[in-house]
Amino acid sequence: MPGPLPLHDSGAAPSAPFSPQPERRVLSIWLWQLAMDRWRLGEGLAEGEGADAAPLALVDETARGVRIAAANRAGLAAGAAPGMSLADARTLCPQLATAPSDPASDLAFLEKLALWAQRWGPWSALDPPDGLIVDVTGVAHLFGGEEALLADVRAALARRRLEGRLAIAPTAGAAWGLAHYGPDGAVLQPGDNAERRLGQLPVAALRLDDDVLLVLRRLGLKRLADLSGVAREALVRRFRNRRSPAANPLIRMDQLLGRVPEPMLPVIAVHAPLVQRRLMEPIRHRDLLDRVVTDLAEDMARELEGQGLGARRLELAMWKVDGEVVTRRLELAAPSRDAVHIASLFGRKLDDVDAGFGIEMVRMRSAWSENVALSQGDFEVAAEGHGTSLAAFIDRLAVRLGARAVRRPVPRASHVPERAQAWIGALEPGKTLQEAFEFHHRPLKLLDSAERIAVLYASPDGLPRRFRWRGEVHEIARVEGPERISPEWWRERSSVRLRDYYRIEDSEGRRYWIYRDGIAGDGRGGDAQGRPPDWFLQGICG
């Protein structure tokens, strides 16, 4: 999904008769009974029919007990309100029936509705938890005017047995406020004086957080007109450190009047390429399954090629006769639509699939695709002998050894040696980082954890003479050091000691990188007990 698309409101500018940009028109739909409507749809009931005739509430299990998320008409009439605890509601209405609420499904339903709502405008956005915003700029005449457009929306919602409150205004903020707190089906014309028309709406119409609403209520500012009555400077000072629009009534007011733009995130339908094979006879043998997967990979490659895409993540689902579904997932290092490659990668993942009584349907879906331009195929036979590409090589290794086994080192901004390199995926782009200064030699290899060594030295903070590592004694012939590296106090505890690194070469010419953890008298680690600092071998030079 692309980034937020700014909805440039031009409400503040006076509308010229031949303005190149038409006045923006935004439709807000508030499905104020969304959860209840969805419950009724799931139960197959009409409004006020069957179980819906009696008081009923959808409840949520929260940390503070069971709370009511939504209630039907009878329930609302009996006194159950959203946000109330179930025990309180039961005292008002003992016969209140309950059903569990499902906010995640509500949101998924709302996403589908947002796509469906694009029948009235080129793009739509979600307004969670229960609203939709549709841009209807310049489309009202297709429905015969804005009133007719609203009637069409209402009829379409009624056909889906949804209850909505609608409003059209030049800005999303104004449309939202009118839909929630204005008369149903309100239309704010571009020429209207928005400040006067909306002045009688409560401040809650500004889409503010609850604590800000509380502040405004304590200040005695109850309606939008009250806000314009106060000097702007006073409000600016009162809310000077509120940056978020939902916490600052001035920003919300400007958005409502179209003085500042309000970016919205449009909903865009993405169709994942999907291919499937229904099998006449359930298959139980591996070679047949491989054949089907190869066919599917070829279908998928054709599908992807038609859309100019390459797959990054593929899902292969196998439906078995006994109703079970086996799924295998695959992630590719670079977008690809090479059917042979995909089939061979899946081939490795199918070894542990238990066919049971047989597999009757196989489906392959590309859950994540990226653009890949069309390219000319090799027209030389000799090109086939030229080996695999890097991405195919990485994929093969990752499938057999695991993605964490194939990595590459990238520099990291740290001066502690083991932290100065990070490992990322082989084809992931690394962060751009300034190369560190190279004042000192670094070893070719670093042990995963530094190994403790016993060191003989002339004085505790002097040069080492001899050390024992992995059961063998090394005479130190040459030393360079110390290179003192302090702990990174912003990442580590205060008890971490500094390190004095020495680059050494023993009498046979073997080169190592060792360090002393702390100095005598620094009061950290074993120093409090009077023990001398420990020595560690961390790096091995080439």
Partner 1 sequence: MFHRIDSPAPCEDQSAAVGTARAQAWRPGIASDEVPHGEVFASGRDGTGAGLALALALDRIAASSPDPLADAPDQRMWLWVQDRDALRRTGRPYRPGLPRALRHRLIHVAAASAEDALFALEEGLRCRDLAFVIGEIAGNPKALSFTAQRRLSLAAQRHGVPLWLVRLDAARDLSSARMRWQARPAPSPHPRWNAAAPGVARWRAELFRARRHPPGEWLLHEEEGRLVQQALLRAGEATRLSNDARPAAAAR
Q: Interacting stretch for partner 1, rule CB under 8 A, among 58-66, 95-103, 335-343, 413-421?
A: 413-421
What is the C-alpha separation between 415 and 492, in angstroms, rounded? 13
**Gyration radius of the chain's alpha carbons:** 34
Which of 19, 421 has the CB closer to partner 1? 421
Q: Does residue 485 bind partner 1 (CB under 8 A)?
A: no
Q: Interacting stretch for partner 1, rule CB under 8 A, among 39-47, 104-112, 150-158, 415-423?
A: 415-423
Strand order through the sheet with 123-127: 123-127, 131-135, 26-30, 165-169, 186-187
Helices marked H in 166-278: 172-181, 194-197, 210-218, 224-229, 232-238, 249-257
Which of 96, 392 has the CB closer to partner 1? 392
| Minimum gap (Å) between residue 476 Cβ and partner 1 | 10
Which residues lie across from 423 on neighbouring strands?
Answer: 409
Helical (H) or strand (E) element with 422: strand 421-425
Residues 6+ apart with CB under 8 A from 186: 167, 168, 169, 178, 179
Query: What binding mask, one character per residue, do residues 348-387 give for partner 1 by CB under 8 A, x or -?
Result: -------------------------------------xxx
Q: Does residue 442 bind partner 1 (CB under 8 A)?
A: yes
Q: Does residue 417 bind partner 1 (CB under 8 A)?
A: yes
Q: Does residue 287 bind partner 1 (CB under 8 A)?
A: no
Q: Does residue 466 bind partner 1 (CB under 8 A)?
A: no
Query: What binding mask, one character per residue, do residues 513-542 give for partner 1 by CB under 8 A, x or -?
Result: --------------------------xxxx
Q: Does residue 406 bind partner 1 (CB under 8 A)?
A: yes
Q: Which of 115, 477, 486, 526 binds partner 1 (CB under 8 A)?
A: 477
Angle (nearest 5°) at CA 303 between 300 and 309: 95
Strand order through the sheet with 309-320: 274-283, 359-371, 309-320, 325-336
Residue 4 is classified by DSSP as: P
The gap from C-alpha 306 to its chain's centroid, in whole angstroms, comes to 28
| Minimum gap (Å) between residue 478 Cβ and partner 1 | 5
Q: Does residue 438 bind partner 1 (CB under 8 A)?
A: yes
Q: Which of 119, 160, 291, 441 binds partner 1 (CB under 8 A)?
A: 441
Q: Does residue 401 bind partner 1 (CB under 8 A)?
A: yes
Q: Which of 43, 480, 488, 492 binds partner 1 (CB under 8 A)?
A: 480
**Which of positions 444-463 make contact with partner 1 (CB under 8 A)?**
444-448
Which of 449, 529 has the CB closer to partner 1? 449
Q: Which of 86, 397, 403, 496 binds partner 1 (CB under 8 A)?
A: 397
Contact 320/358 with Cβ under 8 angstroms? Answer: yes
Question: Residue 224: phi, psi to the nearest 5?
Answer: -65, -35
Q: Which of 80, 198, 332, 504 binds partner 1 (CB under 8 A)?
A: 504
Q: Is the Cα dihedral 423, 349, 365, 320 positive or negative? A: negative
Q: Does residue 390 bind partner 1 (CB under 8 A)?
A: yes
Q: Does residue 408 bind partner 1 (CB under 8 A)?
A: yes
Between strands 534-540 and 445-457, the pairing is: antiparallel
Question: What's the chain's length in residues?
Answer: 542
Question: Which of 261, 238, 239 is CA-nearest to residue 248?
Answer: 239
Helical (H) or strand (E) element with 77: helix 73-78
Which of 118, 414 has the CB closer to partner 1? 414
Q: How far is CA 463 from CA 477, 483, 500, 505, 515, in A?
A: 11, 12, 10, 13, 11
Q: Does residue 41 bind partner 1 (CB under 8 A)?
A: no
Question: Which of 21, 85, 20 is CA-nearest to residue 57?
Answer: 85
**Which of positions 204-233 make contact with partner 1 (CB under 8 A)?**
none
Which of 109, 502 has the CB closer to partner 1? 502
Q: Which residues of the chain form contacts with partner 1 (CB under 8 A)?
A: 385-390, 392-394, 396-397, 400-401, 405-411, 417, 420-421, 423, 426, 436, 438, 441-448, 470, 472, 477-480, 503-505, 507-512, 539-542
